[in-house]
Amino acid sequence: MKNRPIGIFDSGLGGLTAVKELLNILPNENIIYFGDTGRVPYGSKSRDTILKYAIQDIEFLKSMNVKMIIAACGTVSSIIGGSNVNIDIPFTGVVEPTAMAASASTKNGKIGIIGTTATIKSGAYKHALKKINSSFNVFEQDCPMFVPLVENGFIKDNDKAALIIAEKYLYSLREKGIDTLILGCTHYPIIKKLISKVMGPTVKLIDSGSETALFAANLLYSLDYISTRNTKGVCSFFVSDTVEGFSKTASLFLGRNINQDVKIVDIDSYTI
C-alpha cells in the first residue's frame, strides 16, 4: 500500500498548483495526475454534470491503484461534499483544508471566498467556515473570467484588462474589510500577485492547492501510508484531450519544466 501512487485530479491543469506543493513536501511519492482537458471547464456547468464527471475521474484514478485521491479542483470539491458519492480509499477535496487554514489566518473574523460560479453557488466553503466558527463573517464572490484569463495568458500583475476585471469582481469584498481571502480555485494562484494588488497588502490570500497538499501529506503520515522509497518519485500525467502543448502549459502551473510524456485517457468509458 505504502508505495502506491497518490492520485490527483482537476477539470484541467489548475490542479498542478497542488502537485507543485506536494512535490515539495513529499518528493519520494509517485503521483498520478489526471486533467479532464477534454471537458474543461467544470466551474460554469451544473451540479449533476460536475458530479458525473468527478465520478468518472475518480474511477480512472482508482483503476490506477492509487492509495489516496485528491480532488485538486475547487468546483469538484464543493459539489462532492454535499453528495453521497462513496469513495472507499482516503480522499480529500480542497474545501475543508482551505477553510481550516483561513480560520487560522483571520484576525477580525471577516473572510472572503472567490471561486468559479459552481463553487460559490454550492456554498461549500461558507458552510465549512461556519462549521469551524459560526461567528465568522463570510463574503462570497464568483469570478468566472479568472480561469479564461489564466488559461489565455492574461496573468501579469500589470495586465490592464485583467486588473479591470479583477477590480469589478473584488471591490465589494475589499469594501467589506476582510483580512483573509480564500483562492477557492486551483487556477487562481497563477494570478495571486494581481489579486493581491487589487485587495491590498493587509489581506492574506489562502491558496487552496497548497493547503490541501499539506493536509494530504499529514493524512498520509497519520495513516502510515508514506512511501518507503528513498529515491525521487515519478509523476505521471494523463489528460482527456490533446497532449499537444501540454508541457508548456503544465510547466506554468507546476513551476518547473516537465520532461516526461503525457497520456490520453478515454474518460467517458469510466463509470462506477
Identity (one letter) of the amino acid at 234? V
d(CA 234, CA 168): 42
107 binds its own copies (CB under 8 A): no
Residue 235 annotated among the catalytic residues of the structure: no
Distances (CA, A) of 144 to 15, 45, 249: 17, 11, 20
Among 24, 63, 65, 242, binds its own copies (CB under 8 A): 242
> Given candidates 134, 152, 228, 259, which one binds its own copies under the rule CB under 8 A?
152
The position carrying cell 492547492 is: 209
Question: Does 49 sit near its own copies (CB under 8 A)?
Answer: yes
From 97, 142, 95, select the one nearest 118 (Cα to Cα).
142
Q: Is 148 in the site for its own copies (CB under 8 A)?
A: yes
Cα–Cα nearest to 236, from 7, 1, 56: 7
Question: How many angstroms separate the CA atoms of 23 and 18, rounded?
Answer: 9
Q: Which residue is catalytic, options 22, 58, 66, 73?
A: 73
Q: State which of residues 31, 39, 106, 185 lies at the interface with its own copies (CB under 8 A).
A: 39
Bridging pattern class, strands 110-115 and 180-183: parallel
Query: For its own copies, which residue of 24, 27, 48, 63 counts as binding (CB under 8 A)?
Result: 48
Residue 145 is a binding residue for its own copies (CB under 8 A): yes
Q: Is 185 in the active site? A: yes
Measured from the CB of residue 32, what is the shortest distance to its own copies in angstroms?
A: 21
Three-class DSSP category at 264: strand
Residues of this chain that interact with its own copies (CB under 8 A) are 37-39, 44-49, 144-145, 148-149, 151-152, 154, 160-162, 164-165, 168, 240-242, 244, 268
Catalytic residues: 73, 185
